[in-house]
Copies of this chain bind each other. A is one copy, B any other.
């Protein structure tokens, strides 16, 4: 392995990493991304293999980061001044290690019987947390419209906590065609509709969730079999009762999981 200590922001490798940290187009072109933190890097190693490059800040590393560096002793490592490292990291309190990795292409399931279509979610933390919930609920594939943020950005990966490494994610889908061709029930989560709890969910199902402000586009609402809603406690009394998109997604996906477990 090679160890490099880089201290200039003009270093071409560092400039390249900065571009990858900030720019979805650059990541797509090169099919690589940056992972932050021991947990995500370990998950990558466990599911995909070794990173191309490890990046650490100057100064004392955490015990976990040191262990990981030892375990990956044959991977090239780059050390950076603290501030240069911080400029690559997706959050302020970075855990002190990052990795450059190829974006994996997970095989798609042959027959899909539990899927999620996400329309136009632009916040990477929100998108990541929806993918994390989907993986935990047993969703087999997540479809993302063109209006969604990059599922492989460092922030979305952080929100996903490794979900992107086990749940196949298909980006830039043609949402209407997908809904029309889905071999099973297609249900859009909406403010108004049939009660979620009255839907039998053991046959193949595709849930469609949208962006909290805008809701699901009219085109998709008319393409799905039904709009479903999560009944709230005092619906109508005050407009204050509502759920954020990630919470609503969690409730719907786990209702499906619950019905299937008890079937």
Give the contacting residue for A251; candidates B162, B240, B251; CB below 8 A. Answer: B251
Q: Does A161 sit at the interface, judged by CB under 8 A?
A: yes
Q: Does A111 sit at the interface, judged by CB under 8 A?
A: no
Give 1 or 0 for each of A109-121: 1 = CB within 8 Å of chain B CB. Answer: 0000000000000
A133 to B232, alpha carbons, bound, how many Å? 10
Q: Does A145 sit at the interface, judged by CB under 8 A?
A: no
Verify B232–A136 contact, CB threshold 8 A: yes
A254 to B251, alpha carbons, bound, how many Å? 7
Give the contacting residue for A233; candidates B138, B161, B230, B233; CB below 8 A. Answer: B138
* Size band of the interface chain A makes with B: 35 or more
Copies in the complex: 2
A138 to B240, alpha carbons, bound, how many Å? 12
Verify B250–A137 contact, CB threshold 8 A: no
Give the contacting residue for A242; candidates B132, B233, B243, B254; CB below 8 A. Answer: B132
Stretch in contact with the other chain, from A59-67, A147-155, A255-263:
A255-263
With A162-B240, A240-B165: A231-B261 Cβ-Cβ less than 8 Å: yes
Verify A243–B43 contact, CB threshold 8 A: no
Q: Does A247 sit at the interface, judged by CB under 8 A?
A: yes
A165 to B243, alpha carbons, bound, how many Å? 15
A162 to B54, alpha carbons, bound, how many Å? 44
Q: Does A238 sit at the interface, judged by CB under 8 A?
A: yes
Q: Does A89 sit at the interface, judged by CB under 8 A?
A: no
With A46-B238, A231-B261: A129-B247 Cβ-Cβ less than 8 Å: yes
- 17 A-B pairs with CB atoms under 8 Å apart are A43-B240, A135-B240, A137-B232, A137-B233, A138-B233, A138-B234, A161-B244, A166-B238, A195-B261, A197-B258, A197-B262, A230-B254, A231-B261, A246-B247, A248-B250, A251-B251, A254-B255
